[in-house]
């Protein structure tokens, strides 16, 4: 009906990442964020995971704009897979759009993109919807929460936020703006749930800078700092501390260098020329004057920090006495890789400091007390937790109930479950829409499904054995083979006796098979070898049998 407003979550409700929400009223729809998610370990070969956009594309004439809350990959990363099919303006902060432009340029999509920068407290009307942009503090500069005016009532979308009690350089959450927007009454609030399990308040950037400052003043060797390449505020703290302690800073890592250049050009990063050092200069700097910013906070194999830990970096070697600061959160899926990286750095003689050892990182997501402050500021009628795994959504709803939301109005949605706020009051759950994770592997989008992943898991588990056998079509005699090639199964030199025995199994199978049916022979060879390998080695490799008749 006219005046109804529907929220359709396409991602981000039930997982960390892939944030994407469709807000629609009448013949107008607006997408809030368009993020990706990085693959779990079991998704062999998958590069990124994106939402399924079938629902959007089926009604793409209704899509009028994309609104971006900030520039993290889990909020902007899926744009290159949507924009070839839709032509709508994209609104976001100047820094967010600078990151988007860089991404679209890599995919040859920048020329056709309509990027429209907005400043804090701007208001953008899109049909019956109006979006107000409120500054929030997060681990990337120029992040926004949204105050959305709709025919059914006002909606607040917090975006990713925290409430920094002692903000530096004006990086604060504008609670006054949220309150002013909320005073007439808020129909519904959508709020970041990521850190609902953490009590109290997140550490402030002032506390982080104080802790880093003590390290900078007392360190006698080189300092190597790794952090998220989008955390411009933390980088500013590093440059400020280097300036204050007479040190110089070099940078290694393409994403870091790119984001530093973007932030500096937009005026978000102050870098005194005397502080910056070219990477080639770093090895020659006095150890007590040398600071190196590197990528690799999550243990990424090809990152600058990983290459340092492996001794593969072109210009720099880790030295005894180096101090490595991991000023970032350990993302759960990366913990094992990070721990291995730390061990390698210790083997090289470095000392490593990270979040659980010393306060050198503050989360960009609100802890429980901060979430309560936002609830008390907005005072919504309905509450929908977003941006979290399912347990986070449940616990955030419980918190909302403790702060005035009635049980029937605290609603947990999952991806693909639209909810409509009726113009005359009340809500209606709509029929679920098709949403699922779409796997991107190279240039292939969605062609890697469960069957392919299962095959990759089998290959990763026990490897593969390829059998090559060439037969005379008329006589059935062997012209070539049988040859066996092991890939990820056994080391052929060490287990040559096993492979020789396997060749005997193939010959026995060939003798027992009826001539003239190569397909049946292939299946018998495959079955016989699998039984043999299970019996001898307790392994079950993928067996590919190539039988060619000439």
b/e sequence 352-370, b meaning 16+ C-beta within 10 Å? bbbbeeeebbbbbbbbbeb
E strand or H helix that includes residue 90: strand 89-92
- CA gap 256, 251 in Å, rounded: 7
- CA gap 103, 406 in Å, rounded: 43
Q: Which long-range contacts (CB under 8 A, 24 or more apart) does 454-458 make?
A: 455/542, 456/44, 456/45, 457/42, 457/44, 458/540, 458/542
Q: What angle do CA 18, 23, 29 make, to 5 degrees?
A: 110
365 is catalytic: yes
74 is catalytic: no
The tokens describing 312, both together, are: 């593969």
The tokens describing 175, both together, are: 């609670």
- CA gap 163, 202 in Å, rounded: 8
The tokens describing 78, both together, are: 């899926």
Strands (DSSP E) along 151-289, which ranges?
A: 153-157, 186-192, 223-226, 248-252
Which of 160, 192, 415, 462 is the catalytic position? 192
Instruction: Tell me how far CA of residue 539 lies from CA of 503, 528, 534, in angstroms.
Output: 17, 13, 5
Which of 365, 387, 392, 396 is the catalytic position? 365
The tokens describing 157, both together, are: 């979308």
Contact 71, 231 (CB under 8 A): no
Instruction: Tell me how far CA of residue 249 lies from CA of 139, 269, 291, 308, in angstroms.
Output: 21, 14, 5, 17
Contacts of 471 (CB under 8 A, 6+ apart): 477, 478, 479, 518, 547, 548, 549, 550
- Name the DSSP class of 521: H
Distance from the first to the final alpha carbon of the chain: 70
Taking every pair of Cα atoms in the chain, the longest distance, rounded to a whole number of angstroms, is 91
Residue in the structure block whose two tokens are 């600058």 = 304
Burial (Cβ within 10 Å: 0-12, 13-18, ≥19) of residue 287? middle
Contacts of 549 (CB under 8 A, 6+ apart): 470, 471, 472, 473, 518
Helices (H), 295-406: 304-310, 335-347, 368-378, 390-402
Instruction: Tell me how far CA of residue 272 lies from CA of 194, 266, 314, in angstroms.
Output: 36, 15, 27
- Which SS3 state, helix, strand or coil, does residue 199 take? coil
Q: Which residues are catalytic?
A: 192, 365
């Amino acid at each position: 009906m006219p005046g109804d407003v529907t929220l359709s979550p396409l991602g981000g409700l039930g997982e960390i990442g892939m944030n994407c929400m469709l807000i629609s009223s009448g013949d107008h729809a607006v997408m809030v964020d368009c993020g990706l998610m990085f693959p779990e370990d079991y998704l062999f070969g998958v590069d990124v995971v994106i939402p399924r956009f079938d629902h959007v594309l089926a009604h793409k004439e209704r899509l009028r704009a994309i609104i971006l809350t900030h520039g993290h990959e889990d909020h902007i990363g899926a744009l290159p897979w949507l924009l070839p099919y839709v032509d709508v303006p994209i609104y976001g902060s100047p820094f967010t759009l600078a990151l988007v432009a860089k991404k679209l340029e890599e995919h040859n999509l920048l020329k056709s993109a309509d990027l429209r920068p907005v400043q804090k407290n701007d208001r953008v009307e899109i049909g019956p919807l109006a979006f107000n942009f409120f500054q929030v503090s997060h681990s990337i500069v120029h992040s926004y929460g949204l105050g959305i005016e709709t025919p059914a009532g006002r909606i607040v979308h917090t975006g990713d936020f925290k409430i920094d009690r002692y903000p530096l350089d004006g990086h604060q959450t504008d609670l006054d703006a949220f309150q002013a927007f909320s005073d007439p009454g808020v129909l519904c609030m959508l709020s970041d749930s990521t850190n609902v399990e953490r009590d109290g308040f997140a550490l402030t950037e002032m506390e982080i800078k104080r802790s880093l400052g003590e390290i900078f003043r007392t360190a006698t060797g080189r300092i190597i700092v790794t952090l998220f390449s989008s955390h411009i505020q933390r980088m500013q703290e590093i440059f400020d501390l280097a300036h204050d302690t007479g040190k110089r800073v070099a940078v290694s890592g393409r994403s870091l260098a790119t984001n530093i250049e973007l932030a500096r050009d937009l005026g978000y990063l102050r870098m005194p020329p005397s502080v910056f050092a070219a990477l080639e200069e770093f090895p020659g700097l006095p150890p007590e004057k040398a600071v190196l910013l590197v990528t690799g906070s999550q243990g990424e194999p090809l990152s600058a920090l990983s290459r340092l830990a492996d001794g593969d970096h072109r210009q720099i070697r880790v030295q005894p006495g180096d101090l490595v600061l991991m000023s970032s959160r350990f993302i759960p899926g990366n913990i094992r890789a990070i721990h291995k990286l730390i061990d390698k750095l210790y083997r090289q003689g470095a000392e490593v400091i990270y979040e659980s050892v010393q306060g050198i990182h503050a989360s960009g997501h609100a802890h429980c007390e901060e979430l309560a402050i936002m609830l008390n500021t907005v005072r919504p009628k309905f509450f929908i937790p977003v941006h979290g795994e399912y347990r986070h959504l449940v616990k955030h709803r419980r918190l909302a109930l403790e702060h005035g939301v009635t049980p029937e109005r605290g609603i947990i949605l999952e991806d693909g479950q639209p909810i409509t706020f009726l113009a005359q009051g009340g809500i209606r759950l709509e029929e679920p829409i098709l949403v699922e994770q779409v796997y991107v592997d190279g240039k292939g989008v969605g062609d890697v499904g469960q069957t392919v992943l299962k095959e990759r898991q089998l290959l990763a588990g026990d490897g593969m054995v390829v059998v090559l056998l060439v037969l005379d079509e008329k006589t059935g005699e062997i012209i070539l083979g049988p040859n066996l090639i092991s890939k990820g199964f056994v080391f052929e030199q060490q287990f040559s006796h096993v492979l020789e025995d396997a060749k005997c199994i193939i010959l026995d199978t060939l003798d027992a098979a009826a001539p003239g049916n190569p397909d049946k022979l292939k299946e018998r060879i495959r079955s016989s070898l699998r039984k043999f390998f299970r019996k001898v080695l307790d392994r079950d490799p993928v067996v590919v049998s190539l039988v060619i008749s000439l």
